[in-house]
Amino acid sequence: MKIALLNSYYYPEERGGAERSVRILAEGLVGLGHEVTVLALGDAAAAPQSHNGVNIRRLSIRNAYLPSEVGGDVGAVSRLVWHARDSYNLGARADVRATLKASGAQVLHTNNLSGFSVAAWSAAHALGLPVVHTTRDFYLQCPRTTMMKGEHSCARPCGSCAPFAWPRRMVSQRIQHVVGISRFMLERHQQNDYFDGVPASVIYNSYDGPAAPELRAPGAELVLGFIGRLVPAKGVELLLQAFRRLHADASQGALRLLIGGEGHPDYVAELRRQAEGLPVDFLGHVNPPTFFPRVDVTVAPSVWNEPLGRVVIESMSFGKPVVVTPVGGMPELVAPGAGLVLPEVSADALYASLADLLPALRRDHASWAAKAREASLAYGAAAIAGQYQQVYARYL
């Protein structure tokens, strides 16, 4: 089967979990014997590339700048014009159509569409190709892709997003299959009238952890860990508040918190200020294989609706239980005995749950580690690629 995957960015430009997930899927499909071509934004003048058997074609951005540059110093008018053009980008449509035709693809699987727009779907349909789309972010409903206004999550497109969301919603009915990376993501789109009548599936992201993870036996000091982007939506401030109370509780014994990730220098400086006087180490950028062997439990305290939260899968694959907030798709991943789901998003709830969990980890760390590792096996790369293979085959 000749499969085309489309995503705003692709290796080595891995700006977040979506890029890693698309790469792992592409390589998994190659492992099943398929010919895979990835379309991503970049330097179209560069020679075609290949990485781990995946063909990579870079297409120029047919807009004023790349999606990653929408924030920052870009003015409000320029952003408005950018998003208006990204509602249906005719230039991107032509580029995608030509690249698909040259690749000989039999099916187009789109992922993050920012910079390409839903015009990519029309490009495939013009060639008679079926389209499968995976909802990895909220792009179709929110130009900022997060469905957050200030510090609050939106249940529906707000007034400022609705004009951009409407045309995307209308064309969403025309694709052949939609995949949610969590039940939450699929249902949030369907509840807002996207993909009406379109066949749907839930296929979680994949991650292959170590074949035999090194299971750290907790010593005198229990180590909590956070890994991810250092932005307010990730809830690191809640974690620091809860950790300060845990550290002051003599009954909890010696504790340490490792924070892996990068963010805006001003925000990171504020986090460091909040962590003053606590045994907290800021590690900067760190890869999962380096990070997880150093911790006993992972905390994912997001305050926004994470589409999935692949950190949960990654953590469990290393045999590390996970504590998550009850938002987005994360609770779907936490198996019994492999972690905890908080009853609410608050520092009090996080403190109370950790205060119960940490003594249990000291008593029986091996059981928690084994259940976390076992739960992660359902998300192996080959198994997830096989699920997508079955979806594609329905339309060929």
Average pLDDT over residues 167-193: 96
Contact 354, 347 (CB under 8 A): no
- 50 and 105 share one domain: yes
Q: Domains in the chain: how many in total? A: 2
- 387 and 364 share one domain: no
Tell me the CB-side half-sphere exposure of residue 12, using CA atoms within 13 A. 0
pLDDT for res 218: 67
39: domain CATH number? 3.40.50.2000
Average pLDDT over residues 351-355: 97
Assign 187 a pLDDT band (cuts: 50, 70, 90).
very high
Average pLDDT over residues 121-141: 97
pLDDT for res 70: 59
The rounded distance, in Å, linking the Cα atoms of 185 and 270 is: 32
Average pLDDT over residues 147-167: 86
Domain for residue 298, yes or no?
Answer: yes
Domain for residue 214, yes or no?
Answer: no
Assign 292 a pLDDT band (cuts: 50, 70, 90).
very high
Domain for residue 188, yes or no?
Answer: yes
- 349 and 384 share one domain: no
pLDDT for res 72: 59
pLDDT for res 340: 97
Burial status of residue 2 (CB atoms within 10 A of its CB: 0-12, 13-18, 19 or more): middle
pLDDT for res 86: 94
For residue 71, pLDDT beyond 60: no
Residue-range definition of the domain harbouring residue 338: 221-377
- 103 and 86 share one domain: yes
Domain for residue 363, yes or no?
Answer: yes
pLDDT, tens digit, 9 for 90 and up, residues 357-366: 999 999 998 8
- 225 and 335 share one domain: yes
Average pLDDT over residues 165-171: 92
- 367 and 388 share one domain: no
Percent above pLDDT 90 for the chain: 82
- 161 and 273 share one domain: no
Burial status of residue 219 (CB atoms within 10 A of its CB: 0-12, 13-18, 19 or more): exposed
Helix H, strand E, coil C: the string for the chain is: CEEEEECCCCCCCCCCHHHHHHHHHHHHHHHCCCEEEEEEECCCCCCCEEECCEEEEEECCCCCCCHHHCCCCCCHHHHHHHHHHHHCCHHHHHHHHHHHHHHCCCEEEECCCCCCCCHHHHHHHHCCCCEEEEECCCCCCCCCCCCEECCEECCCCCCCCHHHHHHHHHHHCCCCEEEECCHHHHHHHHHCCCCCCCCEEECCCCCCCCCCCCCCCCCCEEEEEEECCECHHHCHHHHHHHHHHHHHCHHHCEEEEEEECCECHHHHHHHHHHCCCCCEEEEECCCHHHHHHHCCEEEECCCCCCCCCHHHHHHHHCCCCEEECCCCCHHHHCCCCCEEECCCCCHHHHHHHHHHHHHHHHHHHHHHHHHHHHHHHHHCHHHHHHHHHHHHHCCC
Average pLDDT over residues 317-330: 96
Domain for residue 212, yes or no?
Answer: no
* pTM across the whole model: 0.91
The rounded distance, in Å, linking the Cα atoms of 27 and 25 is: 5
pLDDT, tens digit, 9 for 90 and up, residues 13-51: 988 889 999 999 999 999 999 999 999 999 988 888 999
For residue 207, pLDDT beyond 70: yes
pLDDT, tens digit, 9 for 90 and up, residues 83-103: 999 999 999 999 999 999 999
- 184 and 228 share one domain: no
Percent above pLDDT 70 for the chain: 98
- 126 and 273 share one domain: no
Domain for residue 215, yes or no?
Answer: no
Assign 337 a pLDDT band (cuts: 50, 70, 90).
very high
Domain for residue 259, yes or no?
Answer: yes
- 292 and 371 share one domain: yes
Mean pLDDT of the chain: 94
For residue 150, pLDDT beyond 80: no
The rounded distance, in Å, linking the Cα atoms of 152 and 35 is: 42
